[in-house]
């Protein structure tokens, strides 16, 4: 910034400045007498033509017979030539007296037009027309580069001071097109790809340029010509080029002013009352409030009745107050440091809280629900969450086209360009199972990120370039021109209604104060801030404008201000009556009727998760068959289905069948199930096959799970884009909409969840504590040490366990239904099931619980096909339930006093231990007990097991390295269980930096070594002494 002001401005930039001023004055310069130093510049012209919209190639243009050829072709059939030629020849014919006399030679016709008899003249007319068409196109493509977007007038919104050489910013540039000043008053036929003519099909060149400047180089810069859809481009051209299209009634102007008053005075009020509090005010972009309201009004008129919004810190309180209409006293009391929180949990700072509000839209008189999602500090993390929530609302309301529910995402300029999740979210926007049918993005582009200048914060010209990947039009607008802002907001809302695609509004503004109100911006942006200090508030500028136009009087304006100030003062007074803070008043996603009116669960028990035999049989049969006629499946899939059939006959199930039982039975009860993630339809390990593909008919698929029962809920299974952060965020948002749905995200391999760490750390683990909202999302994380190398082995259980909030040193009281109470008190549930039946139970329990908690499941890889990792239907029939631990049930359990060692473990290693124990013939000496639910820790069941084997050594065995896996979590809890009176011995891999070795033989050696220790009954004797 400093550089820009201090440094020598380039000639071009100076020129641009001058031209912009002239441009504001209505292109007066074009009407003056410039020097006519133009000469044909055919080379560059040819370059231009080849990228232009006209179907004529430069080589052809140079041929003198070309026009005649075109003309004769046109005479044969008007459709033989491009539309522009058709228009041209029609006009020519209409205006030529020789045509009436039956003359058909083009040169003769052209004669009447340009006053020349020579074929050369005819050729020049064509060339000049083509040149003008190219010029029009140049403005459509590059006009935004010279638009006056920066209210401060010191920065180029595209970070470049260059002026495209094909925009006519001085007379001599006409030469670029082979035109000169004398051509300015010549009339040219307009191509069908412009609307600048209004009702005219021809205009003088001077007027053409003037109108193009008005459309593309004023306070709005439109980027859209990269869109590969002619209809969409035409739509935008029509919206910005039609003369006089940007008109507002006096009422609309007054409403706009009133909204600016609220926006501005709200911040002023907070600044006055709490001058030393951080609030991330909107000063410099006050227009955001009327902008959002315009988007909502226009969308409401088009039928939208639910808007889900996500936004960062800046202006958030203002949006809550003046867009969502949160009661002002509720906002003000958040500033009171003495108020205590009524809710459990950490709560959150005021500029992160969400809100949900149903109201009447005053402009349309229709009902509208507005919700702003709570979010963490992590910028842009909320984007996919908002999209998921919007998608879910659309899904459950049957709004398949997004005509009722829509999302709006707000962004800061630095974060929009810098955060990868923005890109991931854009890439979800057009995918069938993830689209929300168009999101309106609003960027508060204050041309700074904290203290960082945009020139060192991004490599793209604009902060919005990321949106180009999905062909979203981008409307840059000078935020100090409220009417221009309102106009683009209307167009953006209309765009979404018309095309159901994303659109971006880039509000180019400034930040009046530092990053927050306590920050000193002069340290780093001295010159920018000198300019900002001189900058008049947009409210003042706009009110002056309206008063000058006679739309309102000074007194009216002052009354409007006084009225709002009074509202604020009254709310402030009543905020003093608040005695306590209720975070639950800030809930962004209420679940009607799921909790009591006080927000409590309706019970503290969980009904049985077992299933009737006939339900198991029915699901098993569907899972083994192709439920539609004439559908050819792959022979490999046939084999898998036959295998399932055999299992079902024997009342057995493997992992895939266990999952089928869970999903199928929930669907039967009307519970929507949605499984999303990379390659989940087939399953990474080719075990699932939830979508069958016809082997001869393209795109013909069958989802047997949707053919289970006539009145079942829908099963959604969808392969996602190759994203974790975006997709997990999306599914989390989806799970917020409805408690009666099982929403699962599966990682390709468990360790890939770390690229979605922010969603786990900021939303899933602490979400309820911060924002008092439940979420029942399920994470399926394939995990297991199988010699596949450092990656693909560990889903990092230690990370989840470290964030579990149950106290390792506190032995709980087992009152009521301890199992359920303990789940209720936890922040999430972490399990590693060793049997398909238990996997099925835990999935069903997730929905049958009277509250929702995130569920993290470490799922198997080799166990998917392990012949021992099967369950009998008996483990799933009525009366059965999820087993938090599976105690030793073999010979050792019959003579517990004789048992020398109890090995506690979890997951797949159990099968290695069981096999090894058999080989060592130690089935009576060593008990092996499985922890299926690791967190919250089953203190009660572990104690029972430890007490049962009172004389035995207690061992924790895991296949993970010692500094990973479960050891650090279980150890202190075991010691609490035994009151520190018995040691817990560790058996497993040594500490390591990488989660697993890349060498197969090392892997097997490590396994061998720790298996030997596990069954070496003297291994710990010495230490015991
Ligand atoms: C992911 C993430 N990284 C860093 C930060 C710290 N941070 C807070 S605001 C901010 C600057 C944001 O700039 P911009 O997106 O332009 O928004 P503005 O504050 O200018 O409105 C930074 C770096 C954060 N909140 N989130
Ligand atoms: Mg910024």
Give tens-digit pLDDT for 385-430. Answer: 999 999 999 999 999 999 999 999 999 999 999 999 999 999 999 9
- pLDDT grade for 698, boundaries at 50, 70 and 90: very high
User: Using one digit for the tens of pLDDT, what is the confidence trace for 704-725?
Assistant: 999 999 999 999 999 999 999 9
Using a 6 Å cutoff on CB, does residue 352 contact ligand 1? Answer: no
Task: Residue 98: count other Cβ atoms within 10 Å of its Cβ.
Answer: 15
Average pLDDT of the residues in 277-289:
93
Task: Residue 586: count other Cβ atoms within 10 Å of its Cβ.
Answer: 26
Per-residue pLDDT for 110 more than 70? Answer: no
**Residue 355: φ, ψ to 5°:** -170, 150
- Ligand 2 centroid to 350 CA: how many Å? 20
- Ligand 2 centroid to 422 CA: how many Å? 15
Distances (CA, A) of 672 to 61, 81, 390, 738: 63, 55, 16, 9
Burial (CB count within 10 angstroms: exposed 0-12, middle 13-18, buried 19+), residue 424:
buried
Adjacent-strand bridge partners of 357: 370
User: Which is the closest atom of ligand 1 to the Cα of 450?
Assistant: 11
Percentage of residues of the chain with pLDDT beyond 70:
90
Residue-level pLDDT at 31:
30
Order of strands, sheet of 885-886, starting from the edge strand that comes earlier in the sequence:
885-886, 926-931, 901-905, 953-961, 984-989
Per-residue pLDDT for 727 more than 70? Answer: yes
Per-residue pLDDT for 439 more than 50? Answer: yes
User: Using one digit for the tens of pLDDT, what is the confidence trace for 245-263?
Assistant: 999 999 999 999 999 999 9
- Ligand 1 centroid to 415 CA: how many Å? 6
Residue 337 corresponds to which tokens in the numbers above? 């440091």
Spatial separation of the C-alpha atoms in residues 460 and 943, rounded to whole Å: 60
Distances (CA, A) of 22 to 16, 25, 29, 125, 553: 10, 5, 6, 30, 30
Spatial separation of the C-alpha atoms in residues 367 and 958, rounded to whole Å: 57
Task: Residue 111: count other Cβ atoms within 10 Å of its Cβ.
Answer: 18
Average pLDDT of the residues in 158-178:
93
Average pLDDT of the residues in 214-220:
98
CA torsion sign for 778, 780, 785, 791 is negative
Average pLDDT of the residues in 736-756:
97
Residue-level pLDDT at 516:
85
* Residue ranges with CB less than 5 Å from ion ligand 2: 412-414, 446, 448-449
Q: Which of 296, 305, 229, 308 is nearest to 492 (CA)?
A: 296
- Do the beta carbons of residue 822 and residue 936 sit within 8 Å? yes
Per-residue pLDDT for 970 more than 80? Answer: yes
- What is the residue-averaged pLDDT of the chain? 89
- Ligand 2 centroid to 379 CA: how many Å? 11
Residue-level pLDDT at 97:
55
- Ligand 1 centroid to 588 CA: how many Å? 23
Burial 170-198 (b: 16+ CB within 10 A, else e): bbbbbbbbbbbbebbeeebbbbebbbbbe
Per-residue pLDDT for 116 more than 60? Answer: no
> To test the ligand 1 pocket, which listed residue (379, 381, 411, 525) has its Cβ within 8 A of the most ligand atoms?
379
Using a 6 Å cutoff on CB, does residue 448 contact ligand 1? Answer: yes
> For ligand 1, atom 20, which residue shows the shortest CA distance?
449
What SS3 string covers 196-212? CCCCCCEEEHHHHHHHH
Per-residue pLDDT for 112 more than 70? Answer: no
Spatial separation of the C-alpha atoms in residues 188 and 196, rounded to whole Å: 12
Average pLDDT of the residues in 787-796:
94
Q: Which of 937, 904, 930, 933 is nearest to 805 (CA)?
A: 937
The full length of the chain comes to: 1025
- Secondary structure letter of residue 892 according to DSSP: H
Give the pairing of strands 715-719 and 855-859: unpaired
Residue-level pLDDT at 4:
31
In which residue are the tokens 């006629």 written? 629
- Do the beta carbons of residue 196 and residue 135 sit within 8 Å? no
> To test the ligand 1 pocket, which listed residue (279, 380, 424, 450) has its Cβ within 8 A of the most ligand atoms?
450
Q: Which of 536, 586, 495, 515 is nearest to 312 (CA)?
A: 515
Average pLDDT of the residues in 200-222:
97
- pLDDT grade for 672, boundaries at 50, 70 and 90: very high
Give the pairing of strands 984-989 and 953-961: parallel
Using a 6 Å cutoff on CB, does residue 379 contact ligand 1? Answer: yes
Mean pLDDT lowest for which of 275-279, 287-291, 974-978?
Answer: 275-279
In which residue are the tokens 């031209």 written? 19
> For ligand 1, atom 17, which residue shows the shortest CA distance?
412
Packing angle of the helix pair 1000-1014, 909-919 (nearest 10 deg): 60
- Ligand 2 centroid to 354 CA: how many Å? 21
- Do the beta carbons of residue 98 and residue 112 sit within 8 Å? yes
User: Using one digit for the tens of pLDDT, what is the confidence trace for 343-393?
Assistant: 667 778 777 888 889 999 988 999 999 999 999 999 999 999 999 999 999
Question: Which ligand lies nearest to the CA atom of residue 447 in the structure?
Answer: 2
Helix/strand/coil percent split, the chain, to 5: 45, 15, 40
User: Using one digit for the tens of pLDDT, what is the confidence trace for 543-590?
Assistant: 999 999 999 999 999 999 999 999 999 999 988 887 777 767 788 888
Q: Which of 913, 955, 959, 657 is nearest to 783 (CA)?
A: 959
Using a 6 Å cutoff on CB, does residue 444 contact ligand 1? Answer: yes
> For ligand 1, atom 13, which residue shows the shortest CA distance?
449
> For ligand 1, atom 7, which residue shows the shortest CA distance?
450
Mean pLDDT lowest for which of 412-416, 514-518, 634-638?
Answer: 514-518
Using a 6 Å cutoff on CB, does residue 443 contact ligand 1? Answer: no
Using a 6 Å cutoff on CB, does residue 885 contact ligand 1? Answer: no
Spatial separation of the C-alpha atoms in residues 196 and 244, rounded to whole Å: 10
Residue-level pLDDT at 85:
76
Q: What pTM value is reported for the model?
A: 0.89
- pLDDT grade for 123, boundaries at 50, 70 and 90: confident
Mean pLDDT lowest for which of 33-47, 124-138, 819-833, 975-989?
Answer: 33-47
Average pLDDT of the residues in 916-944:
98
> For ligand 1, atom 21, which residue shows the shortest CA distance?
412
- Secondary structure letter of residue 876 according to DSSP: T
Average pLDDT of the residues in 587-614:
90
Q: How wide is the angle at C-alpha 571 spanned by C-alphas 566 and 573, nearest 5°? A: 95
Average pLDDT of the residues in 179-202:
96
Using a 6 Å cutoff on CB, does residue 375 contact ligand 1? Answer: no
Helix (H, G, I), strand (E, B) or coil at 637: helix
Per-residue pLDDT for 54 more than 50? Answer: no
More confident residue, 118 or 360: 360
- pLDDT grade for 96, boundaries at 50, 70 and 90: low
Spatial separation of the C-alpha atoms in residues 828 and 493, rounded to whole Å: 39
């Amino acid at each position: 910034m400093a550089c820009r002001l201090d440094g020598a401005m380039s000639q071009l930039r100076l020129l641009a400045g001058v031209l912009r001023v002239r441009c504001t004055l209505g292109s007066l310069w074009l009407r003056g007498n410039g020097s006519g130093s133009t000469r044909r510049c055919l080379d560059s012209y040819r370059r231009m033509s080849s990228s232009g919209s006209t179907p004529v190639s430069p080589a052809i243009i140079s041929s003198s017979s070309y026009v005649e050829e075109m003309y004769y072709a046109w005479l044969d059939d008007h459709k033989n030539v491009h539309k522009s030629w058709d228009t041209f020849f029609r006009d020519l014919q209409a205006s030529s007296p020789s045509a009436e006399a039956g003359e058909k030679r083009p040169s003769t016709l052209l004669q009447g037009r340009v006053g020349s008899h020579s074929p050369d003249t005819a050729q020049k007319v064509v060339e000049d027309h083509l040149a003008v068409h190219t010029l029009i196109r140049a403005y459509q493509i590059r006009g935004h580069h010279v638009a006056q977007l920066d209210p401060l007038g010191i920065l180029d919104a595209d970070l470049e001071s260059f002026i495209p050489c094909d925009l006519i910013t001085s007379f001599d540039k006409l030469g670029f097109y082979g035109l000169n000043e004398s051509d300015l008053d010549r009339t040219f036929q307009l191509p069908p790809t412009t609307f600048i003519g209004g009702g005219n099909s021809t205009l003088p060149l001077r007027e053409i340029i003037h109108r193009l400047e008005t459309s593309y180089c004023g306070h709005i810069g439109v980027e859209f010509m990269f869109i590969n859809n002619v209809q969409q481009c035409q739509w935008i051209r029509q919206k910005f080029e039609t003369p006089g299209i940007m008109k507002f009634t006096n009422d609309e102007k007054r409403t706009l002013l009133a909204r600016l008053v609220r926006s501005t005075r709200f911040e002023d009020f907070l600044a006055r009352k709490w001058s030393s509090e951080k609030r991330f005010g909107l000063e410099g972009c006050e227009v955001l409030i009327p902008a959002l309201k315009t988007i909502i009004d226009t969308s409401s008129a088009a039928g939208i009745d639910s808007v889900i919004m996500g936004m960062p810190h800046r202006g958030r309180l203002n949006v809550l107050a003046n867009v969502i209409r949160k009661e002002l006293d509720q906002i003000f009391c958040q500033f009171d440091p003495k108020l205590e929180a009524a809710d459990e949990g950490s709560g959150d700072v005021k500029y992160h809280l969400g809100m949900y509000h149903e109201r009447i839209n005053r402009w349309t008189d229709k009902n509208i629900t507005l919700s702003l999602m709570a979010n963490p500090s992590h910028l842009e993390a909320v984007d996919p969450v908002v999209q998921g929530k919007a998608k879910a609302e659309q899904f459950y309301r049957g709004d398949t086209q997004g005509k009722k529910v829509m999302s709006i995402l707000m962004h800061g300029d630095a974060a929009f360009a810098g955060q990868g999740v923005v890109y991931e979210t854009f890439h979800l926007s057009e995918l069938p199972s993830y689209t929300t049918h168009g999101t309106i993005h609003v960027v508060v582009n204050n041309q700074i990120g904290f203290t960082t200048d945009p020139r060192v914060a991004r490599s793209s010209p604009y902060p919005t370039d990321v949106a180009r990947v999905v062909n979203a039009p981008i409307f840059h607008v000078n935020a100090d021109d409220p009417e221009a802002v309102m106009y683009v907001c209307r167009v953006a809302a209309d765009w979404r209604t018309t095309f159901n695609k994303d659109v971006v509004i880039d509000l180019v503004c400034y930040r009046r104060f530092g990053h927050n109100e306590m920050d000193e911006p002069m340290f780093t942006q001295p010159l920018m801030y000198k300019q900002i200090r001189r900058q008049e508030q947009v409210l003042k500028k706009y009110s002056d404008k309206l008063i000058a136009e006679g739309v309102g009087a000074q007194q009216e304006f002052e009354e409007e201000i006084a009225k709002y100030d009074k509202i604020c003062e009254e709310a402030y007074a009543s905020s003093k009556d608040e005695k306590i803070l209720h975070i639950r008043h800030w809930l962004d996603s209420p679940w009607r009727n799921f909790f009591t009116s006080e927000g409590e669960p309706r019970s503290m028990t969980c009904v049985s998760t077992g299933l009737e035999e006939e339900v198991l049989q029915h699901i098993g049969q569907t899972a083994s068959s192709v439920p539609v006629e004439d559908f050819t499946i792959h022979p490999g899939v046939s084999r898998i289905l036959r295998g399932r059939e055999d299992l079902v006959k024997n009342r057995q199930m493997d992992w895939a069948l266990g999952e089928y039982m869970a999903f199928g039975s929930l669907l039967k009860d009307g519970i929507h199930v949605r499984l999303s993630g990379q390659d989940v339809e087939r399953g990474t390990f080719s075990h699932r096959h939830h979508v069958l593909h016809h082997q001869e008919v393209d795109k013909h698929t069958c989802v047997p799970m949707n053919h289970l029962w006539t009145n079942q809920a829908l099963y959604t299974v969808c392969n996602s884009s190759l994203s974790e952060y975006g997709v997990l965020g999306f599914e989390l948002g989806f799970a917020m909409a409805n408690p009666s749905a099982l929403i699962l995200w599966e990682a390709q391999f468990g360790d890939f969840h770390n690229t979605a760490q922010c969603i786990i750390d900021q939303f899933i683990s602490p979400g309820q504590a911060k924002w008092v909202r439940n979420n029942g999302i399920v994470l399926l994380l394939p995990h297991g040490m199988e010699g596949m190398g450092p990656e693909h082995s560990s889903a990092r259980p230690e990370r989840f366990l470290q964030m579990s909030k149950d106290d390792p040193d506190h032995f709980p009281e087992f009152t009521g239904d301890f199992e359920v109470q303990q789940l209720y008190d936890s922040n999430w549930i972490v399990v590693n099931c060793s049997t398909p039946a238990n996997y099925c139970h835990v999935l069903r329990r997730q929905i049958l619980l009277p509250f929702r908690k995130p569920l993290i499941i470490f799922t198997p890889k080799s166990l998917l096909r392990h012949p021992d990792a099967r369950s009998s239907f008996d483990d799933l029939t009525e009366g059965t339930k999820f087993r938090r631990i599976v105690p030793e049930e073999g010979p050792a359990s019959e003579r517990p006093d004789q048992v020398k060692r109890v090995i506690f473990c979890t997951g797949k290693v159990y099968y290695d231990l069981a096999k090894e124990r058999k080989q060592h013939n130690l089935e009576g000496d060593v008990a092996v007990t499985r922890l299926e639910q690791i967190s919250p820790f089953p203190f009660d069941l572990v104690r029972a097991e430890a007490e049962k084997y009172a004389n035995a050594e207690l061992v924790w065995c895991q296949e993970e390295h010692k500094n990973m896996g479960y050891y650090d979590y279980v150890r202190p809890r075991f010691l609490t269980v035994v009151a520190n009176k018995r040691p817990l011995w560790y058996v497993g891999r040594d500490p390591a930096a990488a989660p697993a070795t890349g060498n197969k033989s090392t892997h097997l050696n490590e396994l061998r070594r720790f298996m030997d220790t596990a069954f070496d009954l003297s291994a710990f004797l010495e230490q015991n002494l």
